[in-house]
Amino acid sequence: MFVKVGQILGTRRDVLPPALCDELRVLRHSVAPLSPAESRAALDEAYGGDAGAVLGQVDCRAVASGSIACVYRAVAEDGRPVAVKLQRPAAEAIVARDLALLAVAARAAARLPFLRDVPVEGLLADVSAAIRGQLDFPREAEALERLRENLSRVPRVWVPKIEPGLGRERALVMEYIPGLDAYPADRFPPAKARMFARSALTAIYEMLFVDGFVHCDLHPGNLYFTDSGQVVILDAGFSIQLSERLRRLFGEFFLNMSLGRGRRCAEIVVRSASAVRDDADIGAFSDGLADLVERNFRVPARDFSLIAFATEMFDLQRRHGLTAATELVFPLLSLLVVEGTIRALDPEVDFQEVARPVLTRGVFGAGARR
């Protein structure tokens, strides 16, 4: 549980110092899988001792492992290969216990002078909701199906299909996708790597600017690539729906940023803020953000860093008394998490150029599909 909280806090550069976020990034590394014996026991518990009848043959050696679940390969009764995402035993009870401990710690930490301007309890509430969502496998199945439908219009993007009737409360079953590669930059030719970068980026922009339904955890363990040229998106437990208002504001911010309109960007950030301190200096924030946007306008793609831009913007908000809406922060951080993967695939990729056609549809088109 504490690992999971650290993983999410490590993305919150809007409220935590960058040096602390950099240290917390190490918590994204792989977690040791369940042993085959532990896996068999967990399967029996999830399926009431009937896993073999429902799933057919299951290889109890995990092919992937995370802090909430492990993934296994199975062969269904009709011969189809499927992937089984199995929740770790007692994960729900352990999470509830640990979140209660963290709530006590958060109340104490909120009284510390150096955390005066950090919304500690609100931050913990956001993180807790995100983690509880990752325990809800039926909800994740719905999220995957929704992403699969929304991203079907993006070429070369593959979201696995849920296998109806095979899953349980603590087991999610989907089509098995072989040959996944999380780090393809050194294995594929440059032309293919560039294609991967544009497809992945277009998928993220489609989520952010058009549908408003966003996968917020696209680290390398959830974003893969195949020899056939497909970008594969997995694990949608940490997904959120932007309100129509904030979806449009998010799109308008990026559109104005790409046009160098710093003052307009500042207005949007102020309008979307979840809290403004009594001593907030809106004028100084607006001056600072306008300068930041203008300094990055028409900067060559190779010299533009989204992480550097967002870190400076979050620092301006923190120093001048604005708290970003969580509904906007998590989607933006999904883009920050994936920037390193995109840059490794194509160091010359122009984030703003790829965004423009999607932004045009999202801001001036029909908007999110319902």
pLDDT tens digits along 334-355? 787 788 788 888 988 988 889 9
The residue ranking higher by pLDDT, 297 or 124, is 297
pLDDT for 115 equals 67
Per-residue DSSP letters for 95-133?
HHHHHHHHHHHHHHHTTSGGGTTS-HHHHHHHHHHHHHH
pLDDT for 302 equals 81
The residue ranking higher by pLDDT, 183 or 367, is 183
pLDDT for 179 equals 86
Sequence-ordered list of residues with C-beta below 8 angstroms from that of 258, at least 6 positions apart, any chain: 352, 355, 356, 359
pLDDT for 106 equals 81
What mean pLDDT comes out for the span 131-135? 86
3-state secondary structure of 240: strand
- Is residue 178 scored above 80 in pLDDT? yes
Band of pLDDT at residue 368, cut at 50, 70 and 90? very low
- Is residue 44 scored above 90 in pLDDT? yes
The residue ranking higher by pLDDT, 80 or 130, is 80
CA distance 240 to 220: 19
| Residue 363 maps to a domain | no
| Residue 118 maps to a domain | yes
pLDDT for 369 equals 45
Give the strand order in the sheet containing 231-233: 157-158, 231-233, 223-225
Contact 97, 205 (CB under 8 A): no
Number of structural domains (the chain) is 1
Q: What are phi and psi of 34, to 5 degrees?
A: -65, 150
DSSP tag of 28: G
- Is residue 2 scored above 80 in pLDDT? no
Can you read off the two tokens belonging to residue 306?
Answer: 């989204």
- Is residue 64 scored above 50 in pLDDT? yes
Band of pLDDT at residue 103, cut at 50, 70 and 90? confident
- Is residue 262 scored above 90 in pLDDT? yes
CA distance 132 to 5: 11
The residue ranking higher by pLDDT, 123 or 211, is 211
What mean pLDDT comes out for the span 49-58? 88
3-state secondary structure of 56: coil
Host domain of residue 122:
2-153
Sequence-ordered list of residues with C-beta below 8 angstroms from that of 149, at least 6 positions apart, any chain: none
| Residue 286 maps to a domain | no
Q: What are phi and psi of 108, to 5 degrees?
A: -70, -45
| Residue 149 maps to a domain | yes
| Residue 58 maps to a domain | yes
| Residue 225 maps to a domain | no
CA distance 305 to 307: 5
Which range among 11-15, 64-68, 203-207 shows the weakest confidence by mean pLDDT? Answer: 11-15
| Residue 49 maps to a domain | yes
- What share of the chain has pLDDT > 90, as a percent? 44
What mean pLDDT comes out for the span 35-48? 94
| Residue 267 maps to a domain | no
What average pLDDT does the chain have? 86
Q: Over the stretch 236-255, which tens digit does the pLDDT of each residue have?
A: 988 989 999 989 988 999 99
- Is residue 281 scored above 90 in pLDDT? yes
What mean pLDDT comes out for the span 263-277? 91
Sequence-ordered list of residues with C-beta below 8 angstroms from that of 360, at least 6 positions apart, any chain: none
What mean pLDDT comes out for the span 227-243? 91
- Is residue 230 scored above 50 in pLDDT? yes
Cα-based torsion angle of the residue sequence 269, 273, 277, 280 in order, rounded to the nearest 10 degrees? 10
- What share of the chain has pLDDT > 70, as a percent? 91
pLDDT for 116 equals 66
* Cα-only R_g, the chain: 21
